[in-house]
Structure formats: structure tokens, C-alpha cells
Structure 1
Amino acid sequence: MAQSRLEKIGTIFTRVNGLIKAGAMRFEDRPIWYDLYTAYPPKLEPRYDRPAPDIKIKNIFYAEDVIRAKYHKSERHETLNLLDARRKTQSQNFIQIYENLKEQNPLDEEKIFDTAVEMLAEQTRKSPEAKDESTISLSSNFADSLNKEDRNKPNVNIKKIFEE
């Protein structure tokens, strides 16, 4: 019918094609990808026994990755709330300060780095969020969110529901 169910024999396309030819699947019930595959077949058939191509994988680095790595190596590590998209992270602020300084004076990398670290520390001290967010742990943030959820829950007594 559909040949073998073993993944090593045939591809999913050949199996669906066999089902349609044998009448086990109506042409109208074919998968969405079937027409696309027939119109634009791959250059090489996707088989399990085909060796992986020997292609050198390029490293993808951005210019600020080196600066960010140096910043994280020299400064203390802080917890991040990745779900909070409203505020920039310390490293994003640092990169922005560093790039602004580099545009003004593109000469000495070390002086620019040290100045950027000092400016970020000063900016953090002067920020309106006076409490140091680096000392707030992820667990306390989680506990705060649980407390907020508890406040919004209705007070339901299950015993009273089933007493009648």
C-alpha cells in the first residue's frame, strides 16, 4: 500500500505519492506541502543515508560582541529579566555609551572602555529607579508575581459548593 513504514525506505513525499496512486488517499486530501514539493522539488532528495555536506560554518559575530564580552568579563554579573522588554539591559546601555564615545574619539579603545564603564555606573546611580535592580534576585521577582496573581484570584470555598 504505502510501501514500508520504515523511515529508511523512501521519503515522506514518495509515501504520500504512493498512497495517492494506490487510491488509499484521495488527491483532494493531499497535504498542503505536496503541491509546493511537486512544483519546486529539492535539488537532492532528502534521504537518511546521504552524507552531510562538508561546508565550513561561518562564525557570526557583531562588532559589539567583543565589547560586550569584555564588559561582562570585567564587571559583575547581574540577573536579567528577559521577559521585561520595557527596559534596556546593562550591557545594552553600555554598548550605546561605548559607541557614542567611540564616535566622538575613535583613538584609544582602553580609555573609551574605562570611560564608558564609569559613565554607566554614574548613570545607574542617577537613574529614577533608585533601588539597585542588580540586587533584586530572579526568585524575588517570581515571588512578587505570584503574590500579584494571588490577589487577583477569587476566594472560592469548595466545601460550600458541595454542601447543599
Structure 2
Amino acid sequence: MAQSRLEKIGTIFTRIQGLLRGGAMKAEDKPIWYDVYAAFPPKLEPRYDRPASNLPIRRIFYAEDVVRAKLHKQNRPNETISLTDHRRNTQSQQFVQLYENLRSQGALDEQRIYETTLDLLAEQRQQLRSEERADDNLGTLPSDELETNKSSLLNDFQQAEEQQTTTPTSTPGKAKKEGVGINIDSLFKD
């Protein structure tokens, strides 16, 4: 029984048990679940030939699933979702939260709540976009300041180039004393 890997011959537990008894598997190599299974065996042994139960599969739907399905059916959200970002809610999560808030107030019927929630979500997206644009504009300089910064940077490079061409760097000690940049000969010296 231990040599076969067929599921029809015994269970995974009996096969591991046979490997341990026969010495083909060391005790330290046994699976983590083995001791738990041995201490608490199931009521019915999990064999391949055991008949399946005739219990009907229950359909599990939450109230928000119906709302989310309606949203995705009529308005396809076009966003990129990062599964590692737990701080930000997706558009469908935001929609369900807004929908539940409006429904808890109880003033409108279901269709009207849906339409109002779509409008509120669109307004929120618009506000986020305008805030992002404002943040981007704060990070950039006006065009006249940008031009002056470019020209001053260009002037700085030109002045540095003139200083390097006019200052002779014949001896490494002299260059260090005058503070005129880096001596390249000493950098690549073996």
C-alpha cells in the first residue's frame, strides 16, 4: 500500500502511515497535518469511492453583491486595482458604501438611490482629479521662473567649464590647495 500513489488504494493518511512504518520516510519528514489527523480522525474516511452527499449547494448572496453586479453590468469601472494597496478603496467599494448610506436614509426608491449614488461617485472622482491637478501644479514652477532657472543652470555650467580651462592643474598638490575640483590622475591610480 505504501508503494502506490493511486488514490484508489487507501487514503493519503494510510499511505503516509505505511511509509513511516516501512522506514521509507523519516519521522522528521512527516507532514504537519499527520499528527492532527491521527489525533482527530474524521467521522467518515475520505475515500474516493464514498458516495457524495446530496445536500444542495446554497447560493450565498449579500445585499451588496446585487448592487455591485448592477454597477458592473451597466457601468464598467475602468480603474487599475493594486491588490497590495489596502489603504485605498476601489470604485465599486466606494459605490457600495455610498449606496448603503443613501439606502439607510430611506428617502428614495432603489432605482433613484442607484442613480444618485452614480452621480455622487462621479462628483467624488472629479474632485479627486482636480485635487491631483492642483498638487501637480504646486510642484511645478511658473514658466518664467523655469526659464530663469534653466538659464542660471546653463550659466553655472559655463562658468565651471571656463574655470577648468583657465586654471592649470599641473600638480596634484596644487590643485588640492586651490580647491579646483578633483584630480583625475589620482582617481585612476593603481
TM-score, length-normalised on structure 1? 0.65
- Supply the AA of the counterpart residue of 2:105: Q
* Separation in 2, partners of 1:63, 1:97: 14
2:35 aligned with 1:32, yes or no?
no
Partner amino acid, structure 2, of 1:78: N
Give the 3 Å change call, closer, same or farther, for CA 52–106 of structure 1 in structure 2.
Answer: farther
5 Å-filtered alignment, 1:1-164, equals: 2=2, 4-25=4-25, 30-83=30-83, 84-127=85-128, 128-130=131-133
* RMSD after superposition: 2.6
Instruction: Determine the structure 2 residue equivalent to 1:142.
Output: none
SS in 1 for 2:132: coil
Amino acid at match of 1:98: Y
> Aligned partner of 2:122: which letter?
A
* Higher helix fraction (1 or 2): 2
CA 1:31–1:112 in 2, change beyond 3 Å: closer, same or farther?
A: closer
Higher relative contact order (CA 8 A, sep 6+): 1
Q: Percent identity?
A: 61
Distance 1:89 1:49, change over 3 A: same
Distance change >3 Å, CA 16–CA 117, structure 1 → 2: closer
Q: Secondary structure at the match of 1:129?
A: helix
On the 8 A contact 2:77/2:92 being kept in 1, the answer is no
Query: Aligned residue pairs: how many?
Result: 131
User: Which has the greater radius of gyration?
Assistant: 2
Counterpart of 1:75, as a letter, is N
- Residue aligned with 2:69, SS: helix
TM-score w.r.t. length of structure 2: 0.58
Question: What's the CA shift string for 1:21-79, capped at 9, x where partnerless?
Answer: 44555656644322212211111111122232222111111111111112222224313
- Asked whether the 8 Å contact 2:64–2:96 carries over to 1, the reply is yes
Inter-CA distance 80–39: structure 2 relative to 1 (3 Å threshold)? same
* Consecutive unaligned residues in structure 2, runs of 5 or more: 135-190
Question: Matched residues in 2 for 1:11 and 1:2: separation?
Answer: 10
Query: Deviation at 1:116?
Result: 1.2
- Partners of 2:25 and 2:16 lie apart in 1 by 8
In structure 2, do the counterparts of structure 1 residues 130 and 58 end up closer, same or farther at CA, with 3 Å as the change threshold?
Answer: farther
